[in-house]
Amino acid sequence: MRSPLPPHVRVIAFDAVGTLLVPAEPVAEVYRRAAAGQGVEIDIGLVDARFRAAVRKFGSQTYEQLENSDVESKDGAAGEKSRWRQIVAEVLESCPDPQAAFEELWTYFAVPSHWHVFADVAPVWSELRRRGLRIVIASNFDERLRAIQAALPELVECDQLFISSELGSIKPQPEFYQRVMRQLSVMADEIFMIGDHYQNDVAAPRAQGWTALRIDRQAARDNETIASLFDLL
C-alpha cells in the first residue's frame, strides 16, 4: 500500500486514547470494580452501556458549556475533572458515594501501567523520526497524559504534547487545531492527523486545512481509514 503522507507534511499529529494507547483493562470492568468496592453489584454490560452513553453526553461539551452547567468552571483542568465527575456519577448512579468512586477512578487511570500501547506505535514512530518528521500528540485527555506519556517507553519519541485542557479548547472546536498550528509554527497543509474518532480527528482538522485519516484496527482500509499505523509508511 502506498504511503498516504504527502511530501510536504512536516508534522504527524496523533490522537492518544484509542489511537496510541488503550486501558490495559476494559473500562467497564474497572468501573464495575469501583462500584463493588461500595457494595453495589452492577452487570458489566450495563456499566459498558452507561459509560458509552455518558461519554457521548458529556464528552464533547466545551469548557464554556461546562461553566454554564452545574459544574465548576470553564478552566481546562477543573473542567476536565468536572466532566469526568459527571460521567462517573452517571455510570455509577447507584453508588452511595459517587465522589469517592470518582477519586478512585481518576487516580487509577493516572497510573502508566494501567495503559497499553499498541504494538505498531514504537516502530512506526522510529521510522517517521528517521524520515525527519516531527511527532506530536493532540488529545482531549487531561494533564494525567503527561505523566503517562513520560513513563511509557514506546511514546518517548513524542516531540510535543497538546492537551485540550491546557490549550483551553477541546476537539472538535476549531480553536484547538488553530492553537496547535500556532504553537508549532507550521502551515495547515504541513500537518497530518491520525486518530480513531472521525469528527475529532478527521472531519474537524480537515476543515482547518489539515490532512487527516481515521485509524480503525478492526476495519478494512479505504480512502478514509487505515487499519494499522504501518499503513503510514
pLDDT one-digit tens code per residue, 142-193? 999 999 999 999 999 899 999 998 998 899 999 999 999 999 999 999 999 9
Is the whole model's pTM more than 0.95, yes or no? no
Instruction: Please check whether residue 227 is in contact with residue 221, taking contact to mean a CB–CB distance below 8 angstroms.
Output: yes
CB atoms near residue 56 (< 10 Å)? 9
- 3-class SS of residue 174: helix
All structural domains of the chain, each given as residue ranges with its CATH number in brackets, are 11-20+118-232 (3.40.50.1000), 27-111 (1.10.150.720)
- Taking residues 25-54, report their average pLDDT: 97
What is the edge-to-edge ordering of all strands in the sheet holding 191-195?
Answer: 160-163, 134-139, 11-14, 191-195, 211-215, 225-226
Which residue pairs from 101-106 have beta carbons closer than 8 angstroms and sit at least 24 positions apart in sequence?
101/34, 101/35, 101/37, 101/38, 104/34, 104/37, 105/30, 105/31, 105/34, 106/81, 106/144
- Taking residues 83-89, report their average pLDDT: 93
Exposed, middle or buried by CB within 10 Å (0-12, 13-18, 19+), for 122? middle
CB atoms near residue 22 (< 10 Å)? 16
Write out pLDDT tens, residues 61-78.
665 555 544 444 445 678
- Distance in angstroms (rounded) separating the CA atoms of residues 154 and 20: 9
What single letter denotes the amino acid at residue 35? A
For 227, which DSSP code? S
